[in-house]
Chains A and B, each alone.
Chain A
């Protein structure tokens, strides 16, 4: 079984069901420094080249700071994995990259873990910092990864204006529907009706469809995928990085800890199922009404322009 088969829906269901019962909240909190980050990835009995310390993607990471601080089952790991694979397949030299991030769990995906010039900035402002970097280093690939609270909430204005300017940067907004790092407060993308720590009687506001907003603001490429669609996401990331002009992917991701406790999905697998079951490919939405699309995640390429 190759990793790619894991995104086969039937196989996924089998694994999900087999695992669902045994999984609980216990052990979901990260165990900093106590576990070999790569244990379980490879059979140590295999040849030297397949041992964890020889993992083909390890060269892209700041080893000294592993393991990551993500909770078990967090989508952040999937995004880091997908992103690193995307860079590896594209054969981009990290010397030519700058990762710019904000504040939040999602911002930790490349910073500090991805080994390139990395600017871990203030909450919400990554895109604004990135504009300064890109204007003065036009030959470098400037990639922003941050959360929904960061990029759509406090930093929403920078996002809109960067799209309007069509500045040649790439933004991956990791939308886990919640303020994860601060422990589960409502975010601009939290679904209607969900109880969070700051909406204890339910969220009375409707979530913003941030990718659609960006598409309306401008930009050259806008897409939406989820961590369930790891391979489509990887291809979309590659496309976004290659695309001239402003490119944006909303990556819907799971936060089993802070969002899961609000949404009643404390185990990572039910979070992934939630992403899978509510996703609908953009090509299949023709003729569907607003009501039919309510609560659905329209995935795929939403906009492409050549400006």
Chain B
């Protein structure tokens, strides 16, 4: 059965969580492991329904630690693999995510963010895990983080996440939220003949000659999946290019960690996806991502209807952080507002990137409702006082 048959059509009306599952199939995913958690459960349910139809497997594990672990195991078994969770589960996955960075294991993690900390407001949307996504696992590492704001983007960005995970041999996060995850919109999927899923390429050198953690393309090594005769040794310990542990050599550690970080940061321009809506002569701008970017776009329309000039930059890729793009965007601006469903996270990163070039103001909202365009308008119109909404 082809993927479109398994999904049941190309034009559908569905919710963001299910759309992430469709995107995963389009990205070549054949393994899903997860543990039920609101508001991400529908991803697991959709994967349980879909994967058996395309000879994939979904396993409900005993917790989220097991889920990320099984995903990494399946990835080394040569499959494209994903898990989906929300805040509490995301916290449990952090050690495994660091392991995936260290072992350069491609995998995709969907986080349908809910209101925290702790159990918080399980059914309510939030954007409170953005810093955790970047900094949650111990040690130095880099993550690729995508933030869809529509159901269609849940398809497209989850699909893209698999491509990037394989290309950079790194975990990739799709950071949605309870709102995007549960809202329903129309989606259009590619035609079956446009879907071209290929297995992960085998190493270009045979066993014996192959060096499993030596970078070949840019800073990314080729991957010898298990069962292909390469006897690959995979460890979360600091390792040499051969994969064997080396735990007390500063040079080897530095070389490895710099490489696994730089393979992502060096590719920032290539990885950056933004939507830029600049207004000539504007001195105020908004930097947004995820669900809040829809409110921001609404605010921009309202402000312009009132004759005000305002620019808007939406980050589709949140990490690696597109610093250069943000600086260019803010060059003509004196004020930049960052609306977020948290008490201020990405606004700090924006402020650091601008380094004083413009005043950065947060527009924070928590409690379970999304920011409205009016609230952003009010913040823009206020004379630069930080606005609490």
Contacts and interface: CB of A to CB of B under 8 A. Distances in A.
B59 A135 contact: yes
15 contacts: A95-B227, A98-B226, A118-B235, A119-B73, A121-B69, A122-B99, A125-B96, A128-B65, A132-B59, A132-B75, A133-B226, A135-B57, A136-B79, A137-B77, A158-B69
B226 A129 contact: no
B236 interface: yes
Contacts of B245: 65, 112
B192 interface: no
B63 A157 contact: yes
A62 B233 contact: yes
Given A115-B231, A140-B227, A133 B74 contact: yes
Given A111-B235, A136-B31, A131 B77 contact: no
Given A117-B227, A120-B236, A135-B31, 5 more contacts: A119-B73, A128-B66, A136-B57, A140-B227, A160-B62
B244 A125 contact: no
A132 B99 contact: no
A98 B231 contact: no
Interface string A93-128: 011101010000000000110011111111001001
A161 interface: yes
Interface of A: 62, 64-65, 94-96, 98, 100, 111-112, 115-122, 125, 128-137, 139-140, 157-158, 160-161
Top 6 closest pairs, chain A to chain B, by CB: A132-B73, A132-B70, A128-B69, A136-B77, A128-B66, A132-B74
Contact of B31 (A94, A98, A132, A140): A132
Nearest to B30: A136
A122 B73 CA distance: 12
A64 B70 contact: no
A117 B230 contact: yes
Interface in B46-97: 57, 59, 61-63, 65-67, 69-79, 81, 95-96
Given A122-B95, A158-B62, A133 B236 contact: no
B62 A132 contact: no
A158 B70 CA distance: 11
Given A111-B233, A112-B245, A121-B236, A132 B72 contact: yes
B61 to A, nearest CB: 7
Chain B residues touching A, range: 35 or more
A120 B234 contact: yes
B341 to A, nearest CB: 31
A180 B31 CA distance: 35
Contacts of A129: 69-70, 72-73
B244 A116 contact: no
B235 A112 contact: yes
Contacts of A133: 73-74, 76-77, 226
Contacts of B75: 132
A213 to B, nearest CB: 15
B289 to A, nearest CB: 30
Contacts of A139: 227
A136 B233 contact: no
B130 to A, nearest CB: 24
If over half of B's interface residues share one DSSP class (helix, strand or loop), that class is named, otherwise mixed; here it is mixed
Contacts of B231: 94-95, 115-118
Interface centre among B61, B63, B67, B95 (most CB of A within 10 A): B61
A125 B227 CA distance: 21
Nearest to B69: A128
B145 interface: no
Contacts of B67: 128
A62 B226 contact: no
B229 interface: yes
Contacts of B229: 95
B389 interface: no
Nearest to A160: B62
B317 to A, nearest CB: 27
A137 B77 CA distance: 6
B33 interface: yes
Contacts of A132: 31, 33, 59, 69-77, 81
A232 to B, nearest CB: 30
A202 B130 CA distance: 45
B197 to A, nearest CB: 16
Contacts of A161: 61-62, 66
Given A117-B227, A131-B66, A62 B244 contact: yes
Contacts of B70: 128-129, 131-132, 135
A117 B69 CA distance: 17
Given A65-B244, A133-B74, A120 B235 contact: yes
Given A122-B69, A128-B69, A132-B71, A157 B62 contact: yes
B232 interface: yes
B308 interface: no
Could you say which of A64, A121, A140, A157 has the most chain B C-beta atoms within 10 Å of its C-beta? Answer: A121
B381 interface: no
Contacts of B59: 131-132, 135
B69 A125 contact: yes
Contacts of B62: 128, 157-158, 160-161
Contacts of B30: 136
B188 interface: no
B65 to A, nearest CB: 6
Contact of B226 (A64, A112, A115, A117): A117
Given A117-B227, A125-B65, A140-B226, A135 B234 contact: no
Central interface residue in A62, A94, A117, A132, by most chain B CB within 10 Å? A132
B334 to A, nearest CB: 48
Interface in B205-259: 226-227, 229-237, 242, 244-245
Nearest to A124: B65
Contacts of A158: 62, 66, 69
Contacts of B242: 64
